Amino acid sequence: MNKIAIQQRIYALRGELKGHNYQYYVLDNPKISDTEYDILLRELVNLEAKLAEPIPDDSPTQTVGFKPDTAFKPRKHGIPMLSLANAFSDEEIIDFKRRHQDILNDDATLTYIAEPKVDGLAINIYYEFGQLVFAATRGDGVTGEDVTDNIRSVAGIPWSLDADVPDKFEVRGEVYMSKASFAALNQKQQEVGGKVFANPRNAAAGSLRQLDASITASRNLSFFAYATGLGGDAFANSQSELLEKLNKFGFATQETALLNDKQAMFNHYQTWMKKRPSLDYEIDGMVFKVNDFKQQQLLGSVARAPRWAIAYKFPAEEVETVVEAITWQVGRTGVITPVANMKAVNVAGVMVARATLHNIQELARKDVRVGDRVVIRRAGDVIPEVVKSLSIDEENRAAPTPVPTTCPVCDAAVGQEPGEAAIRCTGGLSCSAQLKQRIKHFVSRDGFDIEGFGSKLAEALVDKGLVKSIADVFQLDFEVLATWEGMGEKKITNLKLAIESRKKIALSRFIYALGIRHIGQATATSLAQHFKTLKALQDANEENLLEINDVGPEVAASLRYFFAELHNQEVLQHMFEYGVTVLDDETPEVDNSHPLAEKTVVITGSFSQIKRNQAKILLQQLGAKVASAVSKNTDILIAGEKAGSKLKKAEVLGIQVVDEAQLLEWLS
Domain ranges of the chain: 3-67, 85-313, 318-394, 428-502, 506-583, 600-667
- Superfamily, domain 85-313: DNA ligase/mRNA capping enzyme (3.30.470.30)
Is residue 552 pLDDT above 80, yes or no? yes
Region 600-667: CATH code:
3.40.50.10190
Beta-carbon count within 10 A of 239 CB: 24
Please list, in sequence order, all residues whose beta carbon lies within 8 angstroms of the beta carbon of residue 663, skipping any fewer than 6 positions away. 607, 610, 615, 638
pLDDT of 349-382, one tens digit each?
A: 678 899 888 888 889 989 999 999 999 887 544 5
Q: Give the mean model confidence (pLDDT) for residues 269-276.
A: 91
Domain 428-502 shares a fold with domain 506-583: yes
d(CA 620, CA 625): 6
Is residue 189 pLDDT above 70, yes or no? yes
pLDDT at 429: 65
pLDDT at 68: 44
d(CA 120, CA 570): 45
pLDDT at 309: 94
Using pLDDT thresholds of 50, 70 and 90, give the confidence band for residue 267. very high
pLDDT at 379: 55
Catalytic residues: 117
Sheet holding 112-118, edge to edge: 85-87, 309-313, 283-290, 112-118, 257-259
Q: Give the mean model confidence (pLDDT) for residues 270-290.
A: 90
Please list, in sequence order, all residues whose beta carbon lies within 8 angstroms of the beta carbon of residue 583, skipping any fewer than 6 positions away. 504, 505, 506, 507
d(CA 655, CA 633): 9
> How would DSSP label each residue in 35-54?
HHHHHHHHHHHHHHHHHTSP
Using pLDDT thresholds of 50, 70 and 90, give the confidence band for residue 643. confident
Using pLDDT thresholds of 50, 70 and 90, give the confidence band for residue 588. low
- Superfamily, domain 428-502: 5' to 3' exonuclease, C-terminal subdomain (1.10.150.20)
Using pLDDT thresholds of 50, 70 and 90, give the confidence band for residue 251. very high
pLDDT of 104-113, one tens digit each?
A: 876 678 999 9
Cα angle, residue 244 at apex, residues 238 and 247 outer, rounded to 5°: 140
Q: Give the mean model confidence (pLDDT) for residues 477-499.
A: 92
Q: Give the mean model confidence (pLDDT) for residues 122-151.
A: 88
d(CA 246, CA 249): 5
Decide if domain 3-67 falls under CATH 1.10.3720.10.
no
Using pLDDT thresholds of 50, 70 and 90, give the confidence band for residue 81. confident
204 within 8 A of 121, measured Cβ to Cβ: yes
Instruction: Return left, alpha or beta for 349; rule: phi > 0 is left, psi -120 to 50 is alpha, else beta.
Output: left
Tally the residues of the chain. 668
- Superfamily, domain 506-583: 5' to 3' exonuclease, C-terminal subdomain (1.10.150.20)
Is residue 196 pLDDT above 50, yes or no? yes
Q: Give the mean model confidence (pLDDT) for residues 552-562.
A: 88
pLDDT at 194: 67
pLDDT at 113: 97
pLDDT of 300-357, one tens digit each?
A: 887 567 899 999 988 767 789 999 999 999 988 889 999 999 998 877 667 889 988 8
pLDDT at 163: 67
Q: Give the mean model confidence (pLDDT) for residues 70-96.
A: 84
Using pLDDT thresholds of 50, 70 and 90, give the confidence band for residue 69. very low
Integer angstrom CA distances of residue 359 from 82, 371, 416, 422: 37, 19, 12, 6
Using pLDDT thresholds of 50, 70 and 90, give the confidence band for residue 29. low
pLDDT of 392-431, one tens digit each?
A: 989 899 999 999 999 998 888 898 877 777 898 887 767 8
pLDDT at 226: 95
Decide if domain 318-394 falls under CATH 3.40.1410.10.
no
Between 284-298, 301-315, 316-330, 525-539, the lowest mean confidence (pLDDT) is in: 301-315
d(CA 615, CA 638): 10
Integer angstrom CA distances of residue 429 from 333, 415, 425, 490, 569: 9, 15, 10, 32, 14
Q: Give the mean model confidence (pLDDT) for residues 646-657.
A: 85
d(CA 414, CA 309): 50
132 within 8 A of 153, measured Cβ to Cβ: no
Q: Give the mean model confidence (pLDDT) for residues 594-602.
A: 86
Mean of all residue pLDDT scores within the chain: 86
Q: What is the dihedral of CA 362, 366, 367, 369, to 10 degrees?
A: -90
Task: Write the secondary structure of 335-404 as one string of H (helix), E (strand) and C (coil).
Answer: EEEEEEEEEEEEECCEEEEEEECCCHHHHHHHCCCCCCEEEEEEECCCEEEEEEECCCCCCCCCCCCCCC
pLDDT at 381: 47
